[in-house]
C-alpha cells in the first residue's frame, strides 16, 4: 500500500493521472545514477496502481459480459436427455464398485462381423 494513498478511493481519471505521474518519476529515477532504491520504490507503487486499474477494467468487462449473456439453465429437458444418454454410454460396461471401492471396467471381446 502506498502510504497516505488508497488507490480504491481514487476515481478513474485520478488513478490514470497518478499512474502517468509515477511513470514519469520512475523514468527519471531509473536514468539517474545512484537512485536505484528510489526507482524500485516507485516501481512498486506503480505496480500497485496498475493492478488497481486492471482490476477495475476486469470488473467492468465481467459486468458487461454478464449483461449480454443469458443465464444457462441446466434443467433444460432436451439437454438433460442428451446428458443422460451420454452418461449411460460412458458408463456402459462398468460393473460398479468393487470390494475396495474402485470401479472395474469390463471389456468386450472383439468380434468379426
pTM above 0.85, yes or no: no
Q: Give residue 103's pLDDT.
A: 53
Instruction: Tell me the per-residue pLDDT of 13-48, one tens digit each, with 9 for 90 and over.
Output: 999 999 999 999 998 888 887 778 888 989 999 999
**Cβ(95)–Cβ(106) below 8 Å:** yes
Give the percent of the chain with pLDDT over 90: 29
> Is the pLDDT at 57 greater than 70, yes or no?
yes
Give the percent of the chain with pLDDT over 70: 60
Query: Looking at per-residue confidence, does 35 or 7 come out higher?
Result: 7
Q: Give residue 104's pLDDT.
A: 53
Q: How far is it, in rounded angstroms, from Cα 25 to Cα 42?
A: 7
Taking Cα atoms as reference points, which of 45, 59, 40 lies closest to residue 15?
45
Amino acid at each position: 500500500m502506498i502510504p497516505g494513498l488508497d488507490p480504491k478511493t481514487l476515481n478513474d481519471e485520478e488513478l490514470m493521472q497518478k499512474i502517468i505521474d509515477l511513470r514519469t518519476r520512475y523514468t527519471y529515477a531509473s536514468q539517474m545514477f545512484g537512485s536505484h532504491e528510489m526507482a524500485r520504490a516507485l516501481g512498486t507503487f506503480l505496480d500497485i496502481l496498475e493492478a488497481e486499474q486492471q482490476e477495475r477494467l476486469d470488473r467492468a468487462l465481467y459486468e458487461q459480459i454478464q449483461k449480454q449473456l443469458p443465464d444457462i439453465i441446466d434443467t433444460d429437458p432436451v439437454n438433460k436427455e442428451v446428458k443422460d444418454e451420454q452418461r449411460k454410454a460412458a458408463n456402459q460396461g462398468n460393473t460398479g464398485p468393487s470390494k475396495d471401492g474402485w470401479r472395474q471396467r469390463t471389456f468386450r471381446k472383439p468380434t468379426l462381423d
